[in-house]
Amino acid sequence: MSSSYDLCEGNVNHITSWVVVMRGCARFCITVHLGQIQGTDFEKQLRTEIKRHTISVLQGSTPSYEPHHSICKLCLPLLLELARTKSVSGLSLEDFVNAPNYNLELVGNGSQARILGGETCSYAPVLDLCPMKLTDIPRVCRKELPLFYARSIRANIDNQDPLGTTQGRISTIDGRIMYFKPRESAREQQFDRELQILLLIKSRGLIERHTRVPCIQGVVISGSSTVDEAELDDQGQCIGVLLNFVPLGMSLLSPQYWDLHSLHEKWELQVTEILEELHANDVIWGDVNPGNVVIDESMDAWVIDFGGMNNPEFVDDGNAESIAGDWQGVRRLFREWLPRRRLNIPL
């Protein structure tokens, strides 16, 4: 993998191949119709690599994504020119909402392949961000929650990791650290469910009672930089919510917790207490799984993620989003899954 770009997705075959790559917050979709580069040196190279790639996929071995990277590398000088830096540090969330998008295409030019499309840039959300009209979010949200402007929020995305999402730790302009949960395409329903529940948790005062569940801090809105903030309150778009940041915040999926047998009972008890309180306040967790139990720096368990989307490994589909389902999930998580992880028994 090259360090100059992040390969996000792609598909290669002998007719039309495409890759999507990001550099910084710029997104490039590169298409290659093999017929269009016929006779070029690159066509020969690509056909050989596609053949090798296809065989390795069919054999079930880990593909090297050689043809994908060859397409990227051919375009690299242009990518470097159009997106000056790969670093995303210092970028605001707004930079990801109005990010440069390029559609590039390779065509033949004698024995050389050349790239079309570099002169046309459009601006659109990247990393699956799916903004919704602010007026479409519940009125209570707009009335009771602070609005944060995406342009004033610094995305603390780890530069080492390939870009996949804007979700994660952020800092506000006045230096507060919070957790950004974006509204992503194909997950709109989950976002809506979680928003409703976070509002319910807030209105029932669960946080004041020190229940370890995320507390909604505000709604993040995006809009043109030429529009002042008062207008944005009416015309802006909601791109996600801010939650309190759980320090350390690693989930039970992290192997470092699997050996800590003496703490497993405590975490089961803590999750049970949180769940009793949630149920008593008409909240169903709806997605019990180890990724949704987070351990903080004091080694206490938190219950997170109210997006629903039942995980059938823990809750039978017939029990999805029910009180019985939540208890079934907790039982399987702490009595079956975690002990198996601890003893290294395959699941």
Ligand X SMILES: Nc1ncnc2c1ncn2[C@@H]1O[C@H](COP(=O)(O)OP(=O)(O)OP(=O)(O)O)[C@@H](O)[C@H]1O
The residue ranges that bind ligand X (CB under 6 A) are 167, 179, 214, 243, 245-246, 249-251, 291-292, 294, 304-305, 307
Closer to ligand X at the Cβ: 32 or 293? 293
**What is the maximal distance between C-alpha atoms in the chain?**
72
Separation CA 257–CA 175 (nearest Å):
31
- 250's contact among ligand X, Mg ion, none, with CB below 5 to 8 A by partner kind, is ligand X
Measured on CA atoms in the order 194, 195, 200, 206, is the torsion positive or negative? positive
* Residue 218 binding result from Mg ion, ligand X, none, given CB thresholds of 5 to 8 Å by partner type: none
The token duo for 175 is 């230096």
When asked if residue 292 is in the footprint of Mg ion (CB under 5 A), the reply is: yes
CA distance 18 to 57: 17
For the bound state, the minimum distance from the C-beta of residue 250 to ligand X, rounded and expressed in Å, comes to 6
305: contact with Mg ion by CB under 5 A: yes
Give yes or no for a contact between 13 and 67, defined as CB atoms under 8 angstroms apart.
no
The nearest distance, CB 339 to ligand X, in angstroms, is: 21
Q: Give the position of tokens 């405590």.
A: 266
Is-contact 28 40, C-beta < 8 A? no
Query: 19 is written with which tokens?
Result: 């890759």
Q: How far is the CB of 243 from ligand X (least distance, A)?
A: 4
Nearer to Mg ion, 94 or 305 (CB): 305
Using rule CB under 5 A, residue 184 touches Mg ion: no
Q: How many CB atoms lie within 10 A of CB 133?
A: 10
Cβ closest to ligand X, residue 7 vs residue 309: 309
Q: With CB under 5 A as the contact rule, which of the stretches 29-37, 148-156, 214-222, 301-309 interacts with Mg ion? A: 301-309
Measured at CB, which residue is nearest to ligand X? 249
171/251 with CB nearer ligand X: 251
Among 35, 39, 291, 312, binds Mg ion (CB under 5 A): 291
Nearer to ligand X by Cβ, of 118 and 249: the residue is 249
Q: Which is nearer to Mg ion, 268 or 305 (CB)?
A: 305
Q: At what angle do helices 323-331 and 261-280 cross, to 10 degrees?
A: 180
Nearer to Mg ion, 164 or 291 (CB): 291
Least distance in Å: CB of 248 to ligand X? 8
Where are the strands (E) in the chain, listed by range? 6-11, 16-23, 26-33, 99-109, 112-116, 122-124, 132-133, 147-149, 153-155, 168-172, 177-182, 216-222, 237-244, 250-251, 293-295, 301-303
3-state DSSP helix/strand/coil % of the chain, to nearest 5: 35, 25, 40
Q: Which residue is nearest to Mg ion (CB)?
A: 305
| Footprint on this chain of Mg ion (rule: CB under 5 A) | 291-292, 305
